[in-house]
Structure 1
Amino acid sequence: MLKRINLEHILFLDIETVPEFATFDELEETTQILYDQKTNYQRKGEYTAEEFYDRAGIWAEFGKIICISVGFFKMQGDVRKFRVTSFHGEEISLLKEFKRMLESHFNRPQHVLCAHNGKEFDFPYIARRMIIRGITLPFKLNLLGKKPWEVPHLDTLELWKFGDYKTFTSLKLLAHVLGIPSPKDDIDGSQVRDVFYEENDIDRIITYCEKDTVTVAQIVLKLRNEALLVEDEVISV
């Protein structure tokens, strides 16, 4: 049961991704052809591969991670704090920093990673980009040989499905129905590419990513029927 997991053993996270290059023309010819083939179904003949390139960030083979925000609970008696921090900059550097943090502070058997739709997006995306960048996978992302109950991952989307495999509930919708303040008060995922490449405003993206990380933690609290975090309990470090 979710209640049995110590909140201090959960690392909450969210990632932001963008196309690996600013424009389709920057891709080598082979990559352009492969992207055309990869996205043929999604485009349905309505867009060219070049016109569809602004969405390339959703695939680890054609995108890159620009921010990983993490959050964790610290309990001191009756005092509860939720600390949030972010890794950003060059992808290979932020991935190595994230790996060091996992191996230093969240490497015990009882530690788990938690994200919204994390099992379908965040966790495999990070793992794939690490492999592409030549980084050995940390234990918490290396699932080879693990039985389903041994995988150290929680997914708030999966928890909300309650066994229903037919539905997808966005973080924004789930937060709304659970009475959690919406994290989407500035940009949304479709705007991250433009904010990164056109506005060069990584700080805005970090803020957006950290708000989503807090919201994932809020959803877990709600599912545990515990009090939501209030503003002075959240510390950005």
Structure 2
Amino acid sequence: MRLPVLVFDIETITDLNAGAHLYQLHDLSQDDLQQALNKLRRQEHGSDFQRIPLHEIVCISGLWFDEKGLRLFSFNREHDSEASMLQKFLSIFEKRHPVLVSWNGSQFDLPVILFRAMYHGLSAPALFDQGEIDSQKRFNNYQNRYHHQHVDLMDVMAMFNGRNFQKLDDIAQLLGFPGKRQGAGYLVPEQVRQQAWTALAQYCEGDVLNTWLIYLRWMLLKGQLLAEDHRQLVDATIQYLATQPQQQEFLAQWQKTAQRTPFTSDFFPVQD
């Protein structure tokens, strides 16, 4: 496995101000504006899921893995504006050049980051350069689908065939991991309204952890991790999560779901 590795996920809400500007709806209240944008989107697309540029980022979570071990982190709107969160996240790529790992990051997370960084006038050449600055990035960058600098697990596990795309929650649970547990993406706007920042970070970090565990299994499948190395990394993840108070629910749920498959059933010692 090439290091460092950065597994990431974002959570978003509709940018009402940008939506009002785009559709000339400045005279509506916030609630009416949200309903109007949802109706317009249903007419355009058949669902409430907004266009990529109208997704305002409210949380970015990541798991960093290098020679020093694992570190889980989150940036959210409790302490940072969207621009500040983006600046912190993008600065990682200026300092290091990690292997980026996501679930559906090519179609959603990275395009959202691209548009929102442009919205705030930010520069991120280390993430978006495709060889114009660093000629080596012509052959391996974060955008091109068949390169390995960004591993979008949903895409690669579907063998780059959209008909085979699967949900993160389904694959996580299939493989003996916790999946979404009690959270769901539709709760994010309410968490933001209630300023439930800890719950929001826990949810986003949960997606990151599921993605990390699937990535380890993917590396095992491809022969880029030996069985003993895979087990050591799983054990290291369990030991690390035991030190993270905000992820005790994830760890407890994982202990239960691990019993559902023969391969994962011995990840945790059997309780007498």
* TM-score in terms of structure 2 length: 0.67
Give ranges in structure 2 of 5+ residues lacking alignment.
Answer: 27-35, 133-137, 221-229, 247-272
CA distance in 2, matches of 1:29, 1:215: 36
Structure 1 residue corresponding to 2:52, chosen from 45, 50, 60: 60
Query: 2:156 — aligned with what?
Result: 159
Query: 2:192 — aligned with what?
Result: 196
The structure carrying a bigger strand percent of its residues is 1
Query: 2:4 — aligned with what?
Result: 9
Quote the offset at 1:42 in angstroms.
2.4
Query: 1:43 — aligned with what?
Result: 46
Identity of aligned residues (%): 22
SS at match of 1:93: helix
* TM-score in terms of structure 1 length: 0.76
CA distance in 2, matches of 1:150, 1:166: 21
Query: 1:175 — aligned with what?
Result: 172
- 1:97 maps to a residue whose letter is K
Query: 1:233 — aligned with what?
Result: 240
Does the 8 Å contact 2:87/2:122 carry over to 1? yes
CA distance in 1, matches of 2:174, 2:123: 39
SS at match of 1:166: helix
Quote the offset at 1:162 in angstroms.
2.5
Does the 8 Å contact 1:195/1:202 carry over to 2? yes
SS at match of 1:119: helix
- 1:118 maps to a residue whose letter is G
Structure 1 residue corresponding to 2:109, chosen from 80, 102, 122: 122
1:78-227 alignment, distance < 5 Å: 81-88=69-76, 89-104=80-95, 106-107=96-97, 111-143=98-130, 146=138, 148=144, 149=146, 152-182=149-179, 184-197=180-193, 199-225=194-220, 226-227=230-231
SS at match of 1:135: coil
Q: Structure 2 vs 1, CA of residues 168 and 68 (structure 1 numbering), >3 Å: closer, same or farther?
A: same
Q: Structure 2 vs 1, CA of residues 66 and 203 (structure 1 numbering), >3 Å: closer, same or farther?
A: same
CA distance in 2, matches of 1:150, 1:170: 22
Q: Structure 2 vs 1, CA of residues 72 and 191 (structure 1 numbering), >3 Å: closer, same or farther?
A: same
RMSD: 3.0
Quote the offset at 1:28 in angstroms.
4.0
Task: Show CA shifts across 1:176-217 (max 9, x none).
Answer: 1111222x12321111111112x2212110111111111111
Query: 1:72 — aligned with what?
Result: 64
- 1:103 maps to a residue whose letter is E
Give ranges in structure 1 of 5+ residues lacking alignment.
Answer: 45-51
Does the 8 Å contact 1:140/1:152 carry over to 2? no
Higher RCO, 1 or 2 (CA under 8 Å, sep at least 6)?
1
SS at match of 1:16: strand
Does the 8 Å contact 2:5/2:66 carry over to 1? no
- After TM superposition, the structure 1 stretch with the greater mean CA deviation from structure 2, 214-223 or 136-145, is 136-145
Query: 1:47 — aligned with what?
Result: none
Quote the offset at 1:132 in angstroms.
1.1
CA distance in 2, matches of 1:21, 1:138: 28
Quote the offset at 1:72 in angstroms.
1.6
Larger radius of gyration: 2
Does the 8 Å contact 1:123/1:141 carry over to 2? no
- 1:126 maps to a residue whose letter is I
Does the 8 Å contact 2:57/2:82 carry over to 1? yes
1:23-34 alignment, distance < 5 Å: 27-28=20-21, 30-32=23-25
How many aligned positions are there?
A: 209
